[in-house]
Structure 1
Amino acid sequence: MNRKKEEILSHCAQSLNQVHSLENLTEEQWRTPIAEGKWTIAEVVGHLIPWDKYFIGRIPKIINEEDELPYFAIEEVNGEASVHSKNSSKEKIIHEFLDVRKLLIAQISDLDDKLWEREFHVGDETFSLYEDLSRLVKHDEDHFAQIDRVL
């Protein structure tokens, strides 16, 4: 397996374990803000779900080098995820994350190893699949570090 693909898949598999371990949190811990005036752990985990869905929709378009990638209104999507997380149970949010992340893992697993070395041209952008998915990894790592600090 391509080393870059393996790295992304390893991170995604580890993220399943990290989020699954949050099932052991009390409701009070789950609803604890990661810092004063910031999101709760529930909201942080809940907002990772639409990011995964975004990449699930983006990857096929990148591979086909479509000029129009899906638009992601960050503030709007994050706001909706925050509201959803506030109104959903810990179990629901965690299971939604796990289900969607498993879909992303399956999609990445099915990608041909040769795609990881190819440069893609979408609109005016040129990038590799690895560079694109590394953004997801960085985003996850930043948020998991915030959760770890508060716990």
Structure 2
Amino acid sequence: MNKFKQEILQHQLNSIEYVKSLNTLSEKEWRAQIHEGKWTVAEIIGHFIPWDEFVLHKRLPYLFSEHELPKCPDSEKTNEKSASISREQNKRVTIDNFVSTRKALYKAIDEIPNDRWEVKFSIGKTTLSLYEYFKGLAQHDLHHFEQIKNTIRLLM
């Protein structure tokens, strides 16, 4: 297996396991803001779901086709909507939705041929490889996971 693909797939599995581990959080920890005026743990996890769905349905099918990539949704509106849903939703539902969406993304990534991982493509004016694209998404995940870990540490 391509080493880049393997790295990204491992990240996807690790992220699923990490988010599943958040089931052990108390309601107070789950609803804790990462900083004053910032998102809660619940909102952070919830915001991943529409973006994973976007990558799954509006990026991957188009990356190596002749069709133009669909426009990215308005990030502010998408994030606010997902945060709002997560504020109202039960912790288990948010985590289960994350896990099922991320598993679908994992499966789609796993189906990408090994020879595609270093092929360059363009998103707007940016040219990058599939590995670079998914590495950026993984770094975004890890940034938020670190915020969550720091928040939980402070509550203990």
AA partner of residue 129 (structure 1): L
Q: For 1:122 and 1:31, locate their aligned partners in 2 and report how far apart those are by CA, in whole Å.
A: 35
Q: For 1:82 and 1:102, locate their aligned partners in 2 and report how far apart those are by CA, in whole Å.
A: 21
Whether 2:86 is the aligned partner of 1:85: answer: yes
Counterpart in the other structure of 1:27: 27
Shift of 1:117: 2.0
CA contact (8 A) 1:62 1:69 kept: no
Gaps (5+ residues) in structure 2? none
What is the TM-score with the length of structure 1 in the denominator?
A: 0.95
What is the CA RMSD across the aligned residues, in angstroms? 1.3
Shift of 1:36: 1.1
Q: For 2:123 and 2:143, locate their aligned partners in 1 and report how far apart those are by CA, in whole Å.
A: 27
SS for the counterpart of 1:64 is coil
Q: For 2:70 and 2:49, locate their aligned partners in 1 and report how far apart those are by CA, in whole Å.
A: 18
Counterpart in the other structure of 2:117: 116
Shift of 1:20: 0.3
Whether 2:52 is the aligned partner of 1:76: answer: no
CA contact (8 A) 2:63 2:69 kept: no
AA partner of residue 42 (structure 1): A
Shift of 1:124: 4.2
Gaps (5+ residues) in structure 1? none
Shift of 1:66: 2.6
CA contact (8 A) 2:45 2:95 kept: yes
Q: For 2:75 and 2:123, locate their aligned partners in 1 and report how far apart those are by CA, in whole Å.
A: 20
SS for the counterpart of 1:107 is helix
Task: Specify whether residues 25 and 123 from structure 1 end up closer, same or farther in structure 2 by C-alpha distance, changes over 3 A only.
Answer: closer
Q: For 2:71 and 2:8, locate their aligned partners in 1 and report how far apart those are by CA, in whole Å.
A: 21
AA partner of residue 148 (structure 2): I
Provide runs of 4+ in structure 1 moved above 3 Å: 121-125
Q: For 2:98 and 2:54, locate their aligned partners in 1 and report how far apart those are by CA, in whole Å.
A: 13
Identity score, percent: 38
Shift of 1:134: 1.4
Counterpart in the other structure of 2:135: 134
Task: Specify whether residues 26 and 48 from structure 1 end up closer, same or farther in structure 2 by C-alpha distance, changes over 3 A only.
Answer: same
Shift of 1:83: 0.5
Counterpart in the other structure of 1:149: 150
Q: For 2:96 and 2:138, locate their aligned partners in 1 and report how far apart those are by CA, in whole Å.
A: 20
CA contact (8 A) 2:47 2:79 kept: yes
